[in-house]
Amino acid sequence: MNHPVPKQFHLLAGKPVLYYSIHAFLSAYADMEVILVLPEDRVGTGQEVIDAYFDYKQIRITIGGATRFESVQKGLAMVEEESVVMVHDAVRCLVSPALIRRCYEAVLQFGSAIPVTEVTDSLRMMEEDGSSSALNRDKIRVVQTPQAFYSKMIIPAFQIDYKERFTDEATVMEGYGMKVHLIQGEATNFKLTRPSDFIMAERILSAQES
What are 44-88's pLDDT values in tens digits?
A: 999 999 999 998 899 999 999 999 999 999 999 999 999 999 999
Residue 62's nearest CA partner among 93, 85, 39 is 39
Question: Residue 143 in contact with residue 171, Cβ under 8 Å?
Answer: no
Question: Residue 200 in contact with residue 109, Cβ under 8 Å?
Answer: no
Which band of pLDDT confidence, cut at 50, 70 and 90, is reported for residue 9? very high
Domain count, the chain: 1
Identify whether 1 is part of a domain. Answer: no
Give the span between the Cα atoms of 208 and 202, in whole angstroms: 10
For range 105-126, the mean pLDDT: 97
Identify whether 126 is part of a domain. Answer: yes
pLDDT for the residue numbered 210: 82
**Residue 201 clears pLDDT 90, i.e. is over it:** yes
For range 112-126, the mean pLDDT: 97
> With b meaning 16 or more CB within 10 Å and e meaning fewer, what string describes 67-88?
ebbebbbbbbeeeeeeebbbbb
pLDDT for the residue numbered 4: 85
CA distances from 155 to 86, 109, 121, 144, 162 (A): 12, 19, 36, 20, 14
Give the span between the Cα atoms of 186 and 188, in whole angstroms: 5
CA distances from 53 to 22, 103, 153, 202 (A): 10, 25, 32, 19
Q: Find the CATH number of the domain harbouring 173.
A: 3.90.550.10
CA distances from 17 to 7, 45, 65 (A): 7, 12, 21
Identify whether 2 is part of a domain. Answer: no
Identify whether 157 is part of a domain. Answer: yes
Instruction: Say which DSSP state 159 is in.
Output: T
- Return the percentage of the chain with pLDDT > 90, whole number: 95
Whole-number mean pLDDT of the chain?
96
- Domain carrying residue 93: 7-209
pLDDT for the residue numbered 173: 98
Identify whether 77 is part of a domain. Answer: yes
Give the span between the Cα atoms of 87 and 145, in whole angstroms: 7
Identify whether 125 is part of a domain. Answer: yes
Which band of pLDDT confidence, cut at 50, 70 and 90, is reported for residue 171? very high
pLDDT tens digits, 29-39: 999 999 999 99
Identify whether 159 is part of a domain. Answer: yes
Give the span between the Cα atoms of 173 and 168, in whole angstroms: 9
Give the span between the Cα atoms of 2 and 63, in whole angstroms: 23
pLDDT for the residue numbered 179: 96
Identify whether 180 is part of a domain. Answer: yes
For range 18-28, the mean pLDDT: 98
For range 143-160, the mean pLDDT: 97
**Residue 1 clears pLDDT 80, i.e. is over it:** no
